[in-house]
Every structure is written in structure tokens, then in C-alpha cells.
């Protein structure tokens, strides 16, 4: 199992090259390239005409440091009031992101579902919109050879001032939606371990219900009341059970961190120490996975 981590949070505090250098020196050999939210704001080189040349630069940075990009996070912060006019903003950005992934050799990118309405009261409409959304992206996934990863989500209940279930929160519904796409060639399921807990689900149970559909992960912890994106063991997720569940489904994908806030408040000369700690936690969890998998196969 390959260990990787997203790069956006650290890149925001340094730059592209320095981020890759820090994480590669810590031991990471794969990185999750984060396009959001900078791409939505038009702040990245990927938004400009010279994006193909920039892809060559980034690819060289990666090769110089002995790493590759194993997945990506696509834009998801849109003016959903435009809907159902997909072509005004959403599809063009996703297509550019998909092409950029192809240029970097990234095999799949995470595309959040559209979830701009309270899910509890608008489930049918949201399901309909998302089936349309993913089917619109399907031909581009084929064209660029970049799979689309779905992700279990949450919403904000503004009346109760808390987080609530949303699209793909319920693992059974998640499996049903994925199966209805009838396209394993272009779509995969990703489980965000932190998102499970904050909607009252269990990350390990979500993995078990989805089973072989799970091909990618966002590994992070929280206290079950906010989307903390903490390093494992800093929150309440049962990591023993998560690793057991991954072993039980014979998970074949990568182990990718999405711990976003571990760099905040640190001096730049401490980034390498924190990166090494993140790497060591990942290796510890992968050893657990291997132990449980070995026990199953005996």
C-alpha cells in the first residue's frame, strides 16, 4: 500500500517546489495534487493558457524529488445558483482539471457531488442533479483517461448550527448511487474517514458496506463535531477497526492523508519535522493493515 498526502495546505504556506521537497524528504513517494479552492478562484497556472508548459515544470519537480502524483482533488466550490446551467462554470473547470491530471499522469480525481440544498428535504432532486452531473463528466473521463472518484459528504445545518448527513453520507445509499452509474471503468468510490464520523456513521462500517467499490481514501481524524482534518489518533476515529475493515475488503488502493491543518502556527523550519511525523503515523497504520491482512489470509 502506497502512502501519500495532499499538498495544498502546505503549498499555500510555501510554494509548489518547496512542498514537494519537504514531503519527499520525509519519505513520501506519492502525493495528492490539490486543485481546490485556488482553481475556482482563478489563481493557479492551470487556469491560464500556459498550463501545458506548467505541467512539464511540475512533472520535473516531481521527478527531481523521486515522487509521483497518485490522485487529485478537483474544484468543488461553485456558484450553484447557476444550476442547472452546468456549462457556465462547473463543467469547464472540471474538464480543465481533468486534462491537467492527465498531463501529470494522475489516475483519478475526487469530484464532490453537488450538494447545495438541504439533503433531508431534497434527496430526489439532488440525486437527479448528480446523476446528470457525473454523466456529463463521463465522456471527458474516457477522453483523458482520468477516473472520477466519488466521496462521502456532509452538510451544514444552519438552523441547528451543526453538521448533518448529505450526499453519499449513508454507505448503503452511496453504494446504490455508484452501482446505478454502471461504469466501473470511469468511476470509483473514495471514503473520507473524517466525514463518516461527523454525520453519525462509522468509517470502518462505511468501508465494509462499500467493499470492493472503495479504491481510494482521504485519511483524517476529527472529534465528530467538526471537519477537523486531524492526523490520526488526534480525534475519535477507531483506527484499529478502520485498518481491519480495509484488510477485510482486500483494499488495493493507496493510503492518502487529507490532514489539512497540521502546518498552521508552525515556523517553516519545523515543517520537515511535522512531515516526518505524518509519514511515520502513516507507516504505523499501514503495518496494522498488513498485520490484519496476514491474519485473514492464514
Burial 220-256 (b: 16+ CB within 10 A, else e): bbbebeebbbbbbebbebebebbbbbbbeeebebbbb
pLDDT digits (tens, 9 = 90+) for 228-239: 999 999 999 999
Name the residue range of residue 206's domain: 3-297
Cα maximum dimension of the chain: 55
In this prediction, residue 85 carries a pLDDT of 93
Angle between helices 203-210 and 171-181 (to 10 degrees): 30
What secondary structure letter does DSSP report for 41? T
Whole-angstrom distance, CA of residue 51 vs CA of residue 93: 13
Residue 141: name the closest of 150, 151, 128 by CA: 150
The DSSP-derived string for 166-202 is: -TT-SHHHHHHHHHHH--TTTEEEEEEHHHHHHTT--
Residue pointed to by grid coordinates 500556459: 50
CA angle 181, 188, 276 (to 5 degrees): 160
Whole-angstrom distance, CA of residue 284 vs CA of residue 294: 15
Whole-angstrom distance, CA of residue 175 vs CA of residue 169: 10
pLDDT digits (tens, 9 = 90+) for 195-229: 999 999 999 999 999 999 999 999 999 999 999 99
How many angstroms separate the first and last alpha carbons of the chain?
19
Local confidence pLDDT in tens for the 298 residues of the chain: 999 999 999 999 999 999 999 999 999 999 999 999 999 999 999 999 999 999 999 999 999 999 999 999 999 999 988 898 999 999 999 999 999 999 999 999 999 999 888 998 999 999 999 999 999 999 999 999 999 999 999 998 888 888 999 999 999 999 999 999 999 999 999 999 999 999 999 999 999 999 999 999 999 999 999 999 999 999 999 999 999 999 999 999 999 999 999 999 999 999 999 999 999 999 999 999 999 999 987 6
pLDDT digits (tens, 9 = 90+) for 125-149: 999 999 999 999 999 999 999 999 9
**Any idea what the CATH number is for the domain that residue 132 is in?**
3.20.20.150
What count of Cα atoms within 13 Å lies in the side-chain half-sphere of residue 288? 16
Assigned C-alpha cell, 143:
477522453
Q: Give CA separation, 271 vs 34, 87, 266, 275, 277, in Å.
A: 18, 40, 7, 6, 10
Q: How many domains does the chain have?
A: 1
Amino acid at each position: 500500500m502506497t502512502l501519500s498526502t495532499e499538498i495544498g495546505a502546505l503549498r499555500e504556506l510555501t510554494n509548489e517546489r518547496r512542498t514537494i521537497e519537504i514531503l519527499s524528504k520525509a519519505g513520501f513517494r506519492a502525493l495528492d495534487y490539490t486543485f481546490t479552492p485556488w482553481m475556482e478562484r482563478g489563481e493557479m497556472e492551470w487556469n491560464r493558457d500556459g498550463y501545458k508548459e506548467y505541467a512539464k515544470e511540475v512533472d520535473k519537480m516531481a521527478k527531481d524529488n523521486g515522487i509521483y502524483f497518485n490522485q487529485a482533488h478537483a474544484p468543488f466550490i461553485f456558484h450553484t445558483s447557476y444550476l442547472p446551467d452546468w456549462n457556465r462554470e462547473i463543467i469547464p473547470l472540471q474538464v480543465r482539471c481533468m486534462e491537467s491530471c492527465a498531463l501529470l499522469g494522475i489516475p483519478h480525481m475526487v469530484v464532490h457531488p453537488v450538494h447545495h440544498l438541504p439533503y433531508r428535504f431534497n434527496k430526489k432532486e439532488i440525486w437527479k442533479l448528480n446523476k446528470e452531473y457525473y454523466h456529463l463528466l463521463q465522456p471527458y473521463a474516457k477522453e483523458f483517461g482520468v477516473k472520477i472518484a466519488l466521496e462521502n459528504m456532509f452538510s451544514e445545518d444552519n438552523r441547528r448550527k451543526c453538521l448533518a448527513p448529505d450526499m453519499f453520507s449513508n454507505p448503503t445509499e452511496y453504494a446504490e448511487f455508484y452501482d446505478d452509474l454502471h461504469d466501473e471503468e470511469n468511476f470509483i468510490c473514495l471514503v473520507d474517514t473524517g466525514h463518516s464520523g461527523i454525520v453519525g456513521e462509522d468509517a470502518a462500517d462505511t468501508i465494509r458496506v462499500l467493499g470492493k467499490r472503495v479504491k481510494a481514501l482521504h485519511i483524517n481524524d476529527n472529534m465528530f463535531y467538526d471537519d477537523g482534518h486531524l492526523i490520526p489518533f488526534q480525534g475519535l476515529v477507531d483506527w484499529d477497526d478502520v485498518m481491519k475493515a480495509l484488510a477485510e475488503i482486500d483494499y488495493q488502493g493507496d493510503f492518502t492523508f487529507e490532514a489539512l491543518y497540521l502546518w498552521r502556527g508552525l515556523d517553516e523550519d519545523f515543517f520537515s519535522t511535522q512531515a516526518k511525523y505524518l509519514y511515520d503515523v502513516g507507516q504505523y497504520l499501514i503495518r496494522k493493515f498488513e498485520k490484519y491482512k496476514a491474519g485473514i489470509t492464514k
